[in-house]
Structure 1
């Protein structure tokens, strides 16, 4: 439980009842995300009221389902609980996966888009895009194994020139981007300025967009957000998890990534795990077993 401006505390709460289209999850592990730290430290995205239960990723067993849920069978064990849409198939709400396809629909690119045959891994590869990724050099081989066509180190002072050169060699226009880390937007306008030609460019930004963020003429920068209306959101979530995730895992076009870094301490260890995430991790997902 989060109090305003405070740390997470362990407290007893009433076990929620699942709604008509929801499932109740016995949470056995939670994964931490930068958005959790942002909500704890700055209250962004806005927390409607305090005290609040925050968190986006969870995995466990389903003990109870809503009366309109037919795709998930209830389990038998009860301990720690959370609510989630039934499309999650009992695996919680994997924010990292939802972030990728939601970026494309945020920019008006349907998930049915296919420019080339599917190969390799990842949402951008499935759509058929040529992928220019940035990461620490030690992760470049791993990114290429997931489908990136080229990778640059964002620590390099000439990272913009590296990307521009790589795009130029392919003879294509780069006019769609997805920023997934804070400060990732800073070099993006310069990259697009030199690679998008005369076309309009679009950028999805997964961290919260702050006032005064970098911009570029004829370029739209939008906060990555699924549809807000209930019907549109339900359809999108079903397409992400029931379609892309389940089918992708079965076919091998989607693979779990990155590797998991398990922290101990259960619920009481969440603050320590948050501190490790804030201090900086690289190429891992911090997970706490409950």
Structure 2
């Protein structure tokens, strides 16, 4: 049996659609028919610039997947054919979402609550991991705020400053669920941010004291906002360690936003075990989504939008249905 997949044959090669085999689920795995895959800047960075190390080619990318279970592997008891699930696939093993079917371990997925669409579910995995791993996972991976991912733990007496507040990680994790938050974002997203619990929204466009800020400078600004003993989580995997860190007790945590890498696997299992209930109860919310037409054929044209910053993609996740591929 074969399927259609969007493939990068060699580093920096253009995307092509080709027929590839449909994988068989092994023990403890499911075969999933992909109904939605969200696009991310990392997908464009890998194809255009070969931006991550150790990518094996030919490569099938796609970090955020939602779909329907088609086949059950040996030993799987808690899932059945027809279940709606979402997950962060192992794209390095060519199990990514830019294809019509993939396999996934039952330890790294969750069921989609009835009120959540496939597209909404696909908007969650990578961005949620980006937010919660550096905040909740145990040291040295993260700040250790909730290493057991106990859904009853609350930090509403604490405060958080979110730089890039309308970005997908803030929106999907609903940081206000664990702390009072003041995101920095453009004013056009202020109503949306307050609807998911922000206490204050600081418009990043009105006061132009700095004409251009490098990514490292943003982290330095965030660090400067910390009180003694404060902690900063960043989406950059290798944040700088300032010279005064030990004296002030301030700490920084970066993240490789996947529950599939060895350091994150055990925390990831806890996260996937609890995330469905958090979604069902409205404690966390999916991102707003924008449908990209033409299935896998629409991806190559949509990914360059990430080069435009907020002018290209802002406040939404771009989502494709691979089953629409002609």
Give the TM-score category using the shorter length. 0.7 to 0.9
Matched residue, 2:88:
none
The CA deviation string for residues 50-103 of structure 1, in whole angstroms up to 9 with x for no partner, is: 111111012221111222322221239xx9211223242366672122222212
Residue in structure 1 matched with residue 155 of structure 2 by the alignment: 115
Please give the alpha-carbon distance, in whole angstroms, between the structure 2 residues aligned to 1:32 and 1:227: 18
The number of aligned residues is: 257
Say if 1:26 and 1:60, in contact at 8 Å, map to a contact too.
Answer: yes
* Structure 2 CA distance for partners of 1:13 and 1:47, relative to 1, 3 Å: farther
Number of the residue aligned with 1:250: 280
Contact kept? 1:27, 1:82, Cα under 8 Å? yes
Q: Corresponding residue for 1:273?
A: 302
Alignment check: 8 A CA contact 1:63 1:74 kept: yes
Residue 159 of structure 1: how far off its partner (Å):
7.9
State the SS of the aligned residue for 1:60.
Answer: strand
1:89 pairs with 2:110: yes
Q: Which secondary structure does the structure 2 equivalent of 1:25 belong to?
A: strand
* RMSD, matched Cα: 3.2
Superposition map of 1:169-208 within 5 A = 185-193=216-224, 195-197=225-227, 199-208=228-237
User: Matched residues in 1 for 2:298 and 2:235: separation?
Assistant: 27
Distance of aligned partners of 1:39 and 1:6 in 2 relative to their CA distance in 1, 3 Å threshold: same
Q: Distance in 2 between matches of 1:247 and 1:237?
A: 15
The Cα offsets for residues 153-173 of structure 1, whole Å up to 9 and x where unpaired, read as 23344689xxxxxxxxxxxxx
TM-score under structure 2 length normalisation: 0.68
Query: In the aligned structure 2, how far is the partner of 1:159 from the partner of 1:143?
Result: 24
CA distance 1:6–1:201, change in 2 (3 Å): farther
State the Cα distance separating 1:208 from its structure 2 match. 4.8
Look up the match of 1:176: none
Determine if the alignment matches structure 1 residue 124 to structure 2 residue 175: yes
Aligned to 1:9: 16
Does the 8 Å CA contact 1:20/1:66 hold for their aligned counterparts?
A: yes
- Aligned pair in 2 of structure 1 residues 66, 277: CA closer, same or farther (>3 Å)? same
Does residue 285 of the first structure (1) align with residue 314 of the second (2)?
Answer: no
| 1:99 has 2:130 as partner | yes
* Residues 1:237 and 2:268 are matched in the alignment: yes
Provide TM-score, normalisation by structure 1. Answer: 0.75
Mapped partners of 1:144, 1:254: distance in 2: 14
1:269 and 1:217 mapped to 2: Cα distance? 48
8 Å contact from structure 1 (residues 262, 286) kept in 2: yes
8 Å contact kept, 2:259–2:268:
no
Distance 1:11 1:229, change over 3 A: closer
Output the CA distance in 1 between the equivalents of 2:31 and 2:15.
22
Alignment partner of 1:134 is 2:134? no
1:6-46 C-alpha deviation (Å, 9 max, x unpaired): 22111122222223232221112211011212222232332
Name the SS for the 2:79 alignment partner.
coil
- How far apart in 2 are the matches of 1:208 and 1:41? 20
Determine the structure 2 residue equivalent to 1:51: 58
Q: How does 1:190-229 map to 2 (within 5 A)?
A: 190-193=221-224, 195-197=225-227, 199-209=228-238, 215=242, 217-218=244-245, 219-225=250-256
Residues 196 and 205 from structure 1, CA distance in 2 versus in 1: closer, same or farther, beyond 3 angstroms?
Answer: closer
For structure 1, the residue ranges without an aligned partner over 5 or more in a row are 161-181
Given the superposition, is the C-alpha separation of residues 33 and 229 from structure 1 closer, same or farther in structure 2, using an over 3 Å criterion? closer
Corresponding residue number in structure 2 for 1:178: none
Q: Decide whether aligned partners of structure 1 residues 223 and 138 sit closer, same or farther in structure 2, where only a CA change above 3 A counts.
A: same
